[in-house]
């Protein structure tokens, strides 16, 4: 399979991986910079939604005594596992969709007719 270039000049699998590198920050960066490649835009949007939600959830859990604090301690491990899996899948050229989030990301990057 030949990898196609993106408007950033990177191969799409490398750009897809980089969408996840710094969570929603690089997701936003690549979503703004990439105009044409739907593979990269999908991974950028999935990164924004996934890691944005984890960020917000970690703040909210910090305000909930005991149960929230315990869950907030477990959240980084879940985030790390997702981060690794999503970067590997993107680098392999796979349009790996997380449940719920993947469909949301796909709706955002699919052209409206």
Q: Spell out the SS3 assignment of 71-107.
A: HHHHHHHHHHHHHHHHHHHHHCCCCCCCCCHHHHHHH
Q: What percent of the chain has pLDDT over 70?
A: 96
Question: What pLDDT band is residue 91 in, cutting at 50, 70 and 90?
Answer: very high
For residue 38, pLDDT over 70 is answered with yes
What's the distance, Cα to Cα, between the start and end of the chain in Å? 29
Q: 0.85 exceeded by the pTM?
A: yes
CA–CA gap between residue 109 and residue 106 (Å, rounded): 5
- Residue 4, pLDDT score: 78
Rounded CA Rg of the chain: 15
């Amino acid at each position: 399979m030949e990898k196609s270039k993106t408007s950033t000049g990177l191969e799409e699998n490398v750009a897809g991986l980089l969408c996840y590198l710094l969570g929603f920050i690089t997701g936003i960066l690549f979503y703004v910079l990439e105009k044409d490649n739907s593979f990269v835009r999908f991974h950028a949007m999935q990164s924004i939604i996934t890691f944005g939600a984890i960020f917000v959830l970690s703040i909210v859990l910090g305000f909930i005594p005991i149960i929230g604090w315990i869950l907030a301690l477990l959240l980084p491990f879940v985030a790390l596992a997702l981060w690794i899996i999503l970067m590997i899948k993107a680098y392999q050229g796979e349009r790996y969709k997380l449940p719920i989030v993947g469909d949301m990301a796909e709706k955002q990057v699919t052209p409206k007719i």
